[in-house]
Chain A
Amino acid sequence: MLMITGAQAQTYTNFIRQVQLPSSGVQFDVSVPAAGQQQSPLEINPTGARFELHTVRTSPLQSFLLDTRYVGSYFTVAEVLITTEDVNSNVPRTRADRPFTVRITTDGLRQGATDPEAAKSVNFYRHTQSYGVGGVGDGLDRTQATLTSQVKINQNGIQTLIYPKKTIAKYRGEERFSIFSLADFQAPASQLASQTVQIWPVADGTISGITTGQTIEFSTPTITLAINDIYPDARVYAQVYQGPKRDDGFVGTVVPGSAVAVNESVPQNRLLTVSNWDSVLTANGAWTMELLTVTPFGIDRLAWVSFNVDRTITFNGSVTTSE
C-alpha cells in the first residue's frame, strides 16, 4: 500500500504508476483519487511489478517520487526505520555530531535448501551523498550517491544498527538505507524498502564588539552576533551572568534583542546587532556573555566572552571651604 497524505493532496496531484517487470516498456496509470485504494487490474505474477507513487507540482512543473513498492512472487517483507533525536521532523534528520539508529526488519525469507536464492536473502545498501558547501539538497541527482556498504541479510527479524557521529562538524548531506530483493530469472533486483536521513552541520557563531578582558565603564557597547548553520528547528540567544565562564549549563539572563527562533527545513544564517543591553549588567565585577543555540539535541555554546564592569564614579579634585 502506497500512502498519500492529505497535505500533499492539497497542493500536489498524485499519480501511481505500475511498471511491469522485467522492464518491457509497459507502464500503467493506476488512476486513484487523492486518497483511497483500488485493486490493480494488471497481473503481478509471474514476473512482478513495481508500483511508484509520484506527486506532481503544478507550478513550476516538477514531479517527485514519494515511494515505491515491488510486488512479486516471493513474499518478502522489509522495512527500514531511521530514528534520530530530532523527533519534531517528518523527514528523518539529525546533526553531524549526533548518532542515529537504523532499524531493519525482514520477514518471509525462506530457509529451505531447494528454495531459490532470491527467496532466501535480501541485500542491504547504505548510500551517502554530500550536499556540498552550503548545499541543501535541491535538485540532487541521487544516482550519483556513493554506495558505501552493501551486505546480505538472510535472517528474518529486527536488526538495530547504531551510526555514530561524523568526524566533520560541517558535514551536510544525506544517507540512504535500502533493502533490495535479489535478481533472479524472473525479475531484476527491486527495492523493497528505503529511508533517508538528512544530516545538517553543527552551528558556529561569534560575538564581536566586545573582547575578553575589556572593562565596561559607562554604556554597553553595540555587539554583533554572527551565527552560521542554525539547525532547522532551533533558537539562538545570548545570555550573561556574573563571574568567569562556567561549564555547567548555568542559566543566565537573556540579552535583550538577541533571541532568534528558526523553524525552517534547512539551516539558516543570522547576523544580529544588539545595543542598549545595560539593563542586564546589574553589578560591578566580572561577567560572561555566551552565545547559545537550543536544538532538539540540547544546548550548544557557540561562543563566549568574559569582561569586567566598573561603574564606580571617582571624583578627581579637592574640596575647599572659605569663610
Chain B
Amino acid sequence: MKTAFLILSILASQLYGEVVREDGVRFRDAATDESLAKEYRETPREDPMKKFEAIKGEDPSVVNKVGNLLENSELITFNGQTTLVPKNAIIKIPEKFAGRINKHIEGAKIVGWLDFLSTNRGWITTIEVTLAQAKGEVPVSPDLMETASKSGNLLVAVLQGGPISVIPPKVEESPATPTQTPQVKP
C-alpha cells in the first residue's frame, strides 16, 4: 500500500504545471481537456495490462452474471415483516395464503428467514429435503407431500433449516428410483 501511494505521489509531482508548496500541498490550475490532451501527446502511455498475454473470449461477468436477489426469490409477507426464500423453495401455497406471497407491502421490515419463521410457525411448515432431492435427482416422497399438504399450511423446502429451491425430477427418471424420506417439521 505504501509503495503504491509513493508511486502515485511521484507521478503526481511530475504532473504538468503543478507546484508543491512549502507546506507540502500541491497546487495547480484545474485540468482541462486541452491540457490533458497536450500532456498525452507529449507523453503517450501504454495499457499497463500489455505486459500480460492477451486473450480473447466471451465476457464471463456477463455470461455468468450473478442474478438479482429479488428476481431469484419468493417474498413472504405477513404482519409487517417480509422475508426472502429462493425461487422454487415454496412447494405449496394454500389459496388462503396466496395474498402473502410476492405481495410485499411497502414499509414491511425485511427480516432473515429464521427470524420470520420463528414468529410464523403457525401457518408455515418446513419440509427437510436432501441435496439430491433439491437437484431433482431423487423425488420427494409423495406420501410425505400428501401428509404435509393436509396441514393446510404454506410448505417451504429447507435443508438443515435453510430454505432451498427444489427442482422437479426429470420426467424420464426411472420410477424404480428409491425415494428418500424427508422429515416434516410443523
A residues within 8 Å of B by Cβ? 12-15, 17, 20, 24-33, 41-43, 50, 52, 54, 56-63, 65, 68, 81, 83-85, 96-103, 123-127, 142-143, 145, 147, 149-154, 160-170, 176, 178, 180, 183, 188-191, 202-205, 247-249, 293, 297-302
Contact = CB atoms under 8 A, between A and B. Distances in A.
Nearest to B161: A31
B53 interface: yes
A201 to B, nearest CB: 10
A167 B40 contact: yes
A143 B62 contact: yes
B159 A248 contact: no
A299 B25 contact: yes
B8 A85 contact: yes
A62 B82 CA distance: 13
Interface stretch (B91-99, B100-108, B145-153): B100-108
Interface residues of B, number: 77
A13 B111 contact: yes
Interface of B: 1, 3-5, 7-9, 11-12, 15, 17-19, 21, 25-33, 35-37, 39-40, 45, 47-49, 52-57, 59-66, 68-70, 72, 84-89, 104, 106-114, 131, 134-135, 159-165, 167
A54 B29 CA distance: 43
Please provide the 3 A-B residue pairs with the shortest distance between their CB atoms, ordered closest to farther. Answer: A249-B27, A298-B26, A151-B52
B94 to A, nearest CB: 22
Contacts of B39: 165
Contacts of A15: 69, 84, 112
B48 to A, nearest CB: 4
B70 A60 contact: no
Contact of B12 (A98, A127, A205): A98
Given A30-B162, A97-B36, A169-B33, 15 more contacts: A25-B167, A41-B160, A56-B70, A58-B107, A65-B69, A83-B4, A97-B31, A125-B60, A126-B49, A163-B48, A190-B64, A191-B64, A191-B66, A300-B30, A301-B29
A17 B69 contact: yes
A249 B63 CA distance: 51
B60 A61 contact: no
Contact of A27 (B4, B36, B45, B165): B165
B165 A25 contact: yes
Contacts, number: 235
A32 B112 CA distance: 8
Contacts of A30: 162
A81 B131 CA distance: 36
17 contacts: A31-B114, A65-B69, A68-B66, A83-B4, A96-B31, A123-B55, A125-B60, A150-B56, A151-B52, A151-B54, A154-B53, A160-B3, A165-B39, A166-B36, A169-B36, A249-B21, A249-B25
Contact of A165 (B30, B36, B85, B109): B36
A17 B86 contact: yes
A166 B163 CA distance: 47
A143 B65 contact: yes
A143 B65 CA distance: 8
Nearest to A145: B61
Contacts of B33: 167-170
Contacts of A50: 66
Contacts of B1: 81, 83
A180 B64 CA distance: 11
Nearest to A22: B64
Contact of B86 (A27, A149, A169, A249): A27
A124 B26 CA distance: 34
B79 to A, nearest CB: 15
B182 to A, nearest CB: 14
Contacts of A167: 33, 36-37, 40
A174 to B, nearest CB: 13
B69 A54 contact: yes
